[in-house]
């Protein structure tokens, strides 16, 4: 009995030691677990903070890029509107110039037709005048030739009468002198037509 009691006492002491060891181990495990958990929490917190900063930085960069792109798009839209207004203005100018050119071309055609008609009439009138003057010149040439023949005939008569001094006629000499004066007048008057 005494041995059993001693064994029981020894067994109880071992159990107590085991419980104490387990308790110490458990306490150490909890402390280490808490330390590890705290360390992991701090690491996670630090990582989360770094990630938040990185995300914030990325968001800032993206916001800046987006703002730049929006400003660029606004400039492009403004340039597009300005270019469209310029193109519309140039189209209106071009249409006005085309209309003016068509008007000038039509006016030029009218002036050309009027000038052609006017010059044709003037040329026809000049041709008629030249034809009339040529006909008059032919008639005057015929008259002049006739008068020259008459003058030559009169001179021959005068020469014949001078060779026969006893046969003279004042009327014949007067007729010859008048004929020569008439020929001289016609020659002076007709001189421009010969030129």
Domain ranges of the chain: 15-194
Whether 133 has a pLDDT exceeding 80, the answer reads yes
Over pLDDT 90: what percentage of the chain?
36
Interval 64-88 mean pLDDT: 95
Q: Which residue has the higher pLDDT, 189 or 30?
A: 30
Tokens 């004929």 map to which residue? 179
Q: Are 183 and 144 in contact (CB under 8 A)?
A: yes
Per-residue pLDDT reduced to its tens digit, 6-39: 555 556 777 888 788 888 777 787 888 788 888 8
User: What b/e sequence results for 47-77 when a residue is b if at least 16 CB atoms lie within 10 Å of its CB, and e otherwise?
Assistant: eeeeeeeeeeeeeeeeeeeeeeeeeeeeeee
pLDDT tier, 42 (very low <50, low <70, confident <90, very high otherwise): confident
Structure token pair of residue 45:
């917190």
pTM above 0.75, yes or no: no
3-state helix, strand, coil in the chain (%, to 5): 95, 0, 5
How much is the pLDDT for 187?
56
């Amino acid at each position: 009995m005494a041995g059993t009691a001693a064994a029981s006492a020894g067994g109880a002491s071992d159990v107590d030691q085991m419980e104490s060891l387990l308790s110490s181990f458990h306490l150490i495990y909890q402390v280490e677990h808490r330390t590890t958990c705290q360390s992991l929490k701090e690491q996670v917190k630090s990582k989360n903070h770094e990630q938040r900063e990185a995300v914030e930085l990325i968001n800032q960069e993206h916001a800046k890029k987006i703002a730049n792109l929006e400003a660029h798009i606004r400039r492009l839209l403004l340039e597009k509107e300005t270019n469209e207004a310029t193109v519309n203005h140039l189209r209106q100018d071009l249409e006005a110039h085309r209309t003016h050119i068509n008007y000038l071309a039509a006016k030029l055609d009218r002036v050309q037709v009027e000038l052609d008609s006017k010059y044709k009439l003037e040329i026809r009138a000049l041709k008629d005048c030249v034809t009339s003057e040529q006909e008059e010149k032919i008639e005057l040439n015929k008259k002049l030739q006739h008068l020259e023949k008459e003058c030559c005939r009169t001179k021959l008569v005068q020469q014949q009468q001078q060779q026969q001094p006893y046969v003279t006629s004042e009327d014949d000499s007067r007729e010859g002198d008048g004929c020569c004066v008439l020929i001289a007048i016609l020659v002076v008057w007709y001189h421009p037509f010969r030129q």
